[in-house]
């Protein structure tokens, strides 16, 4: 006898139920693939409003699944399934690939320039997700974090001239590889309250534009642009201030 208590049938059942419950968290993450598919189908039909709604739901899912998985330590209890790898697959699809489709077809670019811009987004986004240095010690991102879902939404809502769309796309693509910090709205603690407020303001402005069908709404567009500028620059400003 080694003193180890045998595991009874009831404990086996409890463990199985626990693993099944925890697997639901992986299913929540994986649901982002279905949302990306729905967004792609909507884009193929030119239904941009529905496309952005599906991407918005995917963004909410992405905000929820990580904290839940960490709270219940899913990686330890379900070691067969790599939650980080799954999250990367879903994030690339919803943050990069589908927005690239929107940029190619729905942002007023010509066929050649649209495909070129979308290709730049797809390639630089893929490289960013493979970057082992993407996270800084303060939980900010090193380089533009391939948040093309947000960037393309702003481009679509603001309807800039094609040259401006191409310029913004090029600048953000280059910023992917620069040692400039970009904020994680939740995990960066410095100025977090203000950052969260600006994120909520961004989401409210985006919701108003979605409900209005992207009609002329100068106030919502201005608020969206100001909030976007803050979220784009705040971590870089903090980085600069820390060096002064």
Please give the Cα distance from 43 to 98 (Å, whole number).
8
- For residue 142, report the phi and psi dihedrals to the nearest 5 degrees: -90, 115
pLDDT at position 91, please? 94
| pLDDT over 60 at 3, yes or no | no
Looking at mean pLDDT, say which of 67-71, 126-130, 132-136 comes out highest: 126-130
User: How many whole angstroms separate alpha carbon 98 and alpha carbon 41?
Assistant: 10
Q: Which residue has the higher pLDDT, 64 or 55?
A: 55
Instruction: Please write the tens of the pLDDT for every residue from 81-101.
Output: 776 888 899 999 999 999 999
> Residues of the chain with pLDDT > 70: what percent?
91
pLDDT at 38: 98
Model confidence band, residue 29 (pLDDT cutoffs 50, 70, 90): confident
Segment (H or E) for 231: helix 218-243
Determine the pLDDT at residue 114.
Answer: 97
DSSP output for 13-41: HHHHHHHHHHHHHHHHHHHHHHHHHHHHH
The DSSP code for 137 is: T
Q: Calculate the alpha carbon distances from 220 to 116, 200, 216 in Å.
A: 30, 13, 9
pLDDT in tens, 182-236: 999 888 999 999 999 999 999 999 999 999 988 889 999 999 999 999 999 999 9
d(CA 60, CA 109): 29
Gyration radius from the chain CA atoms: 21
37 phi and psi angles, rounded to 5 deg: -65, -45
Three-class SS state of 142: strand
Q: What's the confidence (pLDDT) of residue 93?
A: 96
d(CA 138, CA 70): 18
Nearest to 65 by CA among 91, 39, 96: 91
What mean pLDDT is predicted for residues 153-166? 97
Show the tokens assigned to 17: 């139920």
| pLDDT, greater one: 159 or 74 | 159
């Amino acid at each position: 006898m080694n003193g180890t208590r045998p595991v009874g049938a009831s404990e086996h059942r409890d463990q199985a139920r626990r693993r099944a419950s925890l697997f639901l968290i992986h299913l929540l993450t994986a649901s982002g693939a279905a949302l990306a598919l729905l967004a792609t189908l909507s884009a193929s039909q030119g239904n941009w409003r529905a496309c952005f709604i599906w991407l918005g739901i995917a963004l909410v899912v992405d905000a929820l699944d990580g904290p839940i998985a960490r709270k219940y330590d899913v990686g330890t209890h379900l070691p067969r399934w790599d939650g980080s790898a799954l999250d990367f697959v879903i994030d690339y699809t919803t943050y990069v690939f589908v927005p690239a489709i929107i940029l190619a077809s729905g942002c007023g670019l010509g066929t050649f320039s649209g495909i070129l811009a979308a290709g730049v987004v797809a390639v630089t986004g893929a490289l960013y997700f493979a970057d082992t240095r993407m996270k800084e010690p303060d939980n900010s991102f090193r380089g533009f974090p391939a948040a093309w879902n947000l960037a393309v939404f702003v481009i679509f809502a603001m309807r800039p001239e094609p040259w401006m769309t191409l310029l913004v796309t090029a600048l953000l693509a280059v910023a992917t590889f620069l040692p400039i910090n970009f904020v994680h709205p939740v995990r960066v603690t410095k100025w977090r309250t203000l950052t969260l407020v600006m994120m909520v303001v961004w989401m409210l402005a985006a919701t108003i534009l979605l409900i209005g069908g992207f009609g002329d709404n100068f106030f919502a567009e201005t608020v969206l642009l100001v909030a976007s500028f803050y979220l784009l620059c705040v971590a870089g400003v903090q980085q600069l201030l820390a060096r002064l």
